[in-house]
Amino acid sequence: SDDEVSARYLRQATNTMNRQHMSRFASMDADDDDAIGGFLPNGTQRHRTSSIHFGRVNREEFDKKYICKTTTNVSYSSFIEVIEYMLTVLWEKAYTQSLYEIVVQRISYCHKAKLFSIGVEKKSKFVKMKRVQNCFVGAEGIDWLIEAKFVKDTEDRRERATDLGNALLTKKYIKPVIAEKGSKFKDDKNLFYLFNDDLIDKDCLLEEENVNNNVNHKTHTKSPSPAQPNKLTQSHTQFAFKD
């Protein structure tokens, strides 16, 4: 199904994001035993405050074993494997949905465009006596971006989604079926758009290659110091791993 494809692709995008160190989890309080999928770093004492980082380069972090507290015999050696498990097996949990919001808002435009292309409903439309396949309605695209949580759920969410659509249009990842000078992505039921899937796939591959090259370069040079992670707000405390 499209949902399964989206979940698999999101895992790939998450892995790329992790390796780029685009997102990091900072110290945060945790009161709920179900925090971040109920995973617990093995061999550590429990404290109310836990320091867990996403994409950390510290070898010590990768050597920890994360044990699922809600599912028997499920454990992982790296934090990214925990994320992948949550995005598939624990998808329906509230803490996974909250984590998903963080992930989709931080992945690159080409990965956003890829997920958008996979998820939004495509239709056929007659334009100047010619049938155009696999296009989508502007207003429905806005609905999808909001429902998929690509923008924050604020009063101006439709405007935010429109801005994101225009950013994708500027990068030529989407284009109007009827192209006119100065065409914009609009929240309109009568305007149709197409994805430039070839360009999207090309840029996603280039990004992955760049990540691989950077990782290989750093492997053959001195190890970088862990970057200072971004702090999460109180609303994200349900993600914490308890030590």
182: left (phi over 0), alpha (psi -120 to 50) or beta: left
d(CA 86, CA 99): 9
Q: pLDDT by residue (tens digit) across 31-70?
A: 333 445 556 555 443 332 232 233 333 444 444 567 777 7
Q: Quick check: helix, strand or coil at residue 131? A: strand
Domain-by-domain residue ranges, the chain? Answer: 2-107+207-239, 109-202
Q: Quick check: helix, strand or coil at residue 19? A: helix
CA 14 to chain centre: 6
Q: Are 123 and 135 in contact (CB under 8 A)?
A: yes
- Residue range 224-237: mean pLDDT, rounded: 37
CA dihedral 21, 9, 36, 79 (to 10 degrees): -50
pTM metric for this prediction: 0.65
- Residue range 181-194: mean pLDDT, rounded: 93
Q: pLDDT by residue (tens digit) across 81-97?
A: 777 788 878 888 888 88
Starting from the edge strand earliest in sequence, which strands make up the sheet with 75-76, in order? 39-41, 66-68, 75-76
Question: Which residue, 93, 89, 39, is CA-closest to 69?
Answer: 39
Q: Who's near 165: CB < 8 A, 6+ residues apart?
A: 138, 141, 142, 145, 174, 185
Q: Any idea how long the chain is?
A: 243
Query: For residue 138, what pLDDT is reported?
Result: 96
User: In the CATH hierarchy, which top-level class contains the domain 109-202?
Assistant: mainly alpha
